[in-house]
C-alpha cells in the first residue's frame, strides 16, 4: 500500500463531517420508528419483530472485521460517500416496493441488513477520520458534539416524526431516509484532501485477512480496549433485550400508537444527547472510571424501572436514563480508542470493537424476543437489567488502574 499523508486539522472538514452525520441520522431516526411499526402490521410474534434488531446487528458479526481492513486500505472519505450513496439506492428501492403495494417481512429484514452493512464502513471511517480533523485534546469535545446532535436527530426528532409520517403514509419516512443518505454522501464528498491511513514506508503489503487478524490481535492484547468492547457487548445485550420488543410493549402494555412509540425513542435521545453533551465537562471534574461504572449502574436500574412501569411517562424516564448513561459511556470509550490506537490500525480496531460490541445486538434482540414469548414483554427488560449489572465487577477489575484521559493515555 502506498504511503499517503492523512490531512491534518483541515478547515471546515469537521463541520462537513458533522453535517453529514446529522443528515443521515435524521433519516435513520424516521425509520427507527417506521420499520418496527411496519413489521408489527405484518406479524405480532415477538421473535419475528425482534428479528429487525437482529438483522441490524448481524452485519457487524459477519462483515465488521473485513470492513475495518478496507477502511485501513482506502481513502476513508471516499468510502463514506460511496457507501452512503449505495444506502440511498437500497432504501430508495424499498420506497418503490412499499409504494407499489409490496408487503414482505423478509424484504424488510434484507433492507435493514444492507443499511447496517453500509454502516460498518461509514461509521468506522467516520471515527477513523476524526483524529485527522481535530487535535487529541479536542477529541472529547468533538465526539460529544457529534454524538449529542446525531442522537437528537436520530432518536429525538426522527422517531416521533417518523411515527407521524408513517400514520400518513408508510412510504414517507422511508423515502426521506433515502434522501438523507444522498445528502450525507454529497456533504462528505465536499471534504477536500486525501484521507488514506499512514503506514511505515517499508511496511510490506499484507493480505486483507492478515490485516484483519493483525487488528483483532492488537485489540485483544490491549486490556483496556478489550474491556471496553466486552463491557459494551454486555450493555448492548441487556439494552436490546428490551428495545427489540419495545414496539409490542408500547402497544400492549402502555396502549400508545405510532406517534407515542416514536416519542419513547425521543426520550432515549434526549438522555443520550444530554449525556454526550455534558460528558466533556463531567470527566474534567470526575474520575472517568467513576463515570463509566456509574453509567453501567444507571442503565441497569433504568431497564428495571421500565419493566416495572405501568405508565408511558415512567417508561420515558427510564429510557432517558439509558440514553444519558450511554452518552457518557460512548464519549469516554471512543475518545480513548482514538487517542491510543495507531493510525494505520485505527479502522481495524474501530471495526473489531464494533464486531464485539454491536455484534452482540442480535444476541440481545433474540434473547429479548424469546424471553418475551415465554415470560411476557416485561420479562425482557428484567433479564436485560441483570445482564448489564454483571458488567460492573468486570469493568472495575479491568479499568480501575488505566489512564482513560485521551490527552494523557498511552498504548
Report how far residue 262's alpha carbon sits from residue 161's, in angstroms, rounded to the nearest whole number: 7
Closest residue by Cα to residue 58 from 347, 371, 358:
358
CATH number at residue 162: 1.20.1250.20
Q: Regarding predicted confidence, which is higher, 47 or 272?
A: 272
Q: What is the secondary structure of 265-287 as a DSSP string? A: HHHHHHHHHHHHHHHHHHHTTS-
The pTM assigned to this predicted structure is 0.69
Using alpha carbons only, how large is the chain's radius of gyration in Å? 20
Report how far residue 258's alpha carbon sits from residue 208's, in angstroms, rounded to the nearest whole number: 44
Closest residue by Cα to residue 14 from 110, 199, 145, 108:
145
Tell me if 385 is assigned to some domain. yes
Tell me if 353 is assigned to some domain. yes
Closest residue by Cα to residue 256 from 53, 36, 48:
36
Average pLDDT over residues 190-216: 67
Helix (H), strand (E), coil (C) string for 95-117: HHHHHCCCCCHHHHHHHHHHHHH
Query: What's the domain range around 152?
Result: 13-195+211-399
Closest residue by Cα to residue 308 from 388, 387, 392, 384:
384
Report how far residue 238's alpha carbon sits from residue 362's, in angstroms, rounded to the nearest whole number: 11
Tell me if 410 is assigned to some domain. no
Residue percentage of the chain with pLDDT more than 70: 93
pLDDT for the residue numbered 355: 80
The three three-digit cell numbers of residue 350, written as one number: 474501530
Report how far residue 153's alpha carbon sits from residue 31's, in angstroms, rounded to the nearest whole number: 12
Tell me if 1 is assigned to some domain. no
Tell me if 115 is assigned to some domain. yes
The three three-digit cell numbers of residue 134, written as one number: 481535530
Phi-psi region of 6 (alpha: psi -120 to 50; beta: other; left: phi over 0): beta
Compute the half-sphere exposure of residue 363: CA atoms within 13 Å on the CB side of its CA.
Answer: 17
pLDDT for the residue numbered 205: 47
Report how far residue 340's alpha carbon sits from residue 336's, in angstroms, rounded to the nearest whole number: 6
Number of domains composing the chain: 1
- Rounded to 10 degrees, the C-alpha dihedral 268/259/177/352 comes to 30
3-state helix, strand, coil in the chain (%, to 5): 80, 0, 20
Tell me if 111 is assigned to some domain. yes
Report how far residue 294's alpha carbon sits from residue 281's, in angstroms, rounded to the nearest whole number: 16
10, pLDDT greater than 70: no
The helix-helix angle for 13-42 and 76-99 (nearest 10°) equals 30
Q: Which alpha helices (DSSP H) does 101-189 contain, by range?
A: 105-129, 139-151, 158-168, 171-189
Report how far residue 246's alpha carbon sits from residue 260's, in angstroms, rounded to the nearest whole number: 12
Highest mean pLDDT: which range of 171-185, 196-210, 254-268, 331-345:
171-185
* Local confidence band at 207 (pLDDT 50, 70, 90 cut-offs): low
* Local confidence band at 3 (pLDDT 50, 70, 90 cut-offs): very low
pLDDT in tens, 82-102: 999 999 999 999 999 988 887
DSSP classification of residue 202: T
Tell me if 273 is assigned to some domain. yes
Question: Would you say 195 and 343 are in contact if contact means Cβ atoms under 8 Å apart?
Answer: no
Instruction: Give me the chain's average pLDDT, please.
Output: 83
Report how far residue 309's alpha carbon sits from residue 299's, in angstroms, rounded to the nearest whole number: 15
252, pLDDT greater than 70: yes
pLDDT in tens, 355-392: 888 778 888 988 998 999 899 899 999 999 999 999 99
Tell me if 411 is assigned to some domain. no
Question: Which residue bears the cell 449525556?
Answer: 275
Amino acid at each position: 500500500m502506498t504511503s499517503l499523508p492523512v490531512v491534518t486539522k483541515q478547515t471546515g472538514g469537521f463541520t462537513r463531517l458533522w453535517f453529514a452525520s446529522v443528515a443521515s441520522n435524521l433519516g435513520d431516526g424516521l425509520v427507527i420508528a417506521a420499520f418496527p411499526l411496519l413489521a408489527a402490521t405484518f406479524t405480532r410474534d415477538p421473535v419475528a419483530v425482534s428479528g429487525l434488531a437482529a438483522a441490524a446487528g448481524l452485519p457487524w458479526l459477519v462483515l465488521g472485521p473485513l470492513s475495518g481492513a478496507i477502511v485501513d486500505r482506502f481513502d476513508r472519505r471516499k468510502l463514506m460517500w460511496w457507501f452512503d450513496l449505495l444506502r440511498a439506492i437500497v432504501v430508495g428501492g424499498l420506497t418503490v416496493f412499499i409504494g407499489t403495494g409490496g408487503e414482505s417481512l423478509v424484504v424488510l429484514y434484507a433492507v435493514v441488513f444492507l443499511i447496517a452493512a453500509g454502516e460498518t464502513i461509514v461509521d468506522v471511517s467516520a471515527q477513523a477520520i476524526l483524529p485527522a480533523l481535530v487535535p487529541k485534546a479536542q477529541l472529547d469535545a468533538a465526539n460529544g458534539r457529534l454524538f449529542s446532535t446525531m442522537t437528537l436527530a436520530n432518536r429525538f426528532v426522527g422517531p416521533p416524526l417518523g411515527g407521524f409520517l408513517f400514520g400518513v403514509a408508510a412510504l414517507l419516512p422511508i423515502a426521506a431516509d433515502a434522501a438523507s443518505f444522498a445528502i450525507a454522501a454529497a456533504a462528505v464528498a465536499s471534504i477536500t484532501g486525501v484521507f488514506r491511513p499512514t503506514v511505515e514506508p517499508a511496511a510490506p503489503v499484507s493480505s486483507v485477512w492478515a490485516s484483519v487478524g493483525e487488528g483483532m490481535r492488537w485489540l485483544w492484547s490491549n486490556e483496556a480496549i478489550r474491556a471496553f468492547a466486552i463491557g459494551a457487548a454486555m450493555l448492548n445485550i441487556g439494552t436490546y433485550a428490551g428495545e427489540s420488543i419495545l414496539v409490542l410493549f408500547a402497544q400492549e402494555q402502555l396502549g400508545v400508537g405510532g406517534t407515542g412509540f416514536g416519542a419513547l425513542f425521543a426520550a432515549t435521545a434526549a438522555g443520550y444527547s444530554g449525556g454526550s453533551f455534558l460528558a466533556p465537562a463531567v470527566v474534567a471534574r470526575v474520575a472517568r472510571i467513576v463515570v463509566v461504572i456509574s453509567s453501567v449502574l444507571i442503565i441497569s436500574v433504568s431497564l428495571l424501572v421500565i419493566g416495572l412501569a405501568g405508565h408511558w411517562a415512567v417508561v420515558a424516564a427510564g429510557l432517558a436514563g439509558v440514553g444519558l448513561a450511554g452518552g457518557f459511556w460512548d464519549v469516554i470509550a471512543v475518545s480513548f480508542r482514538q487517542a491510543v490506537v495507531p493510525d494505520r490500525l485505527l479502522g481495524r480496531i474501530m471495526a473489531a470493537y464494533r464486531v464485539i460490541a454491536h455484534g452482540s445486538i442480535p444476541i440481545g434482540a433474540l434473547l429479548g424476543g424469546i424471553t418475551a414469548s415465554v415470560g411476557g414483554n416485561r420479562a425482557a427488560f428484567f433479564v436485560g437489567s441483570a445482564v448489564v449489572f454483571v458488567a460492573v465487577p468486570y469493568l472495575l477489575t479491568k479499568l480501575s488502574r488505566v489512564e482513560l484521559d485521551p490527552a494523557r493515555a498511552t498504548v
